[in-house]
Amino acid sequence: MRKIFTVLTIFTGLLLVSNCGSSKESLTISEEEKKAFAAVEGDTVKISNEETEYEIIIIDPGFYTWLNSIARPEGYYSKTFLENRNQLLVLNWNQRAMTPNNYDPNLYLMQIDYKPGIDYGYEVNYKLYNYFIFFQRKYNQRLGPFVPRI
């Protein structure tokens, strides 16, 4: 009887672990977000901070619309949160940009020069973070351990 209980306990444990490991959180994409993703005309979003003289230019159809209609408003996230997430996301982005044989080279065209010790300001961090969320949701990518939520 004891052996059966042990086998059942191990089997139940394995079943629970396999169910937990295989469940993926699915993204729910609204109709409004799908419209932004379907845009074919190029939006150009210039992310800059005049005080620090840093600039990022994003040319991805639908991003400007998505940023202004779907993304959380400026001030929603703290600057520290944005900086921490951007460091992780940039690291993963750059790894993919450096290995075009493993990842779609049409998605990861170039590396992002983002250094942790530099204060890029809130606006640069806010828009860069939101671009990563937009990118992950639009192209069904995962740049980090977090589900790209809005």
In this predicted structure, the answer to whether residue 19 has a pLDDT above a threshold of 70 is: no
User: What is the pLDDT at residue 28?
Assistant: 82
Q: Largest alpha-carbon pair distance within the chain?
A: 74
**Model pLDDT for residues 45-54, shown as the tens digit of each residue:** 776 666 667 7
Burial 3-38 (b: 16+ CB within 10 A, else e): eeeeeeeeeeeeeeeeeeeeeeeeeeeeeebeebbe
The β-bridge partners of 54 are: 49
Q: DSSP state, 10?
A: H
Q: Where are the domains of the chain?
A: 27-139
In this predicted structure, the answer to whether residue 76 has a pLDDT above a threshold of 80 is: yes
Global pTM? 0.75
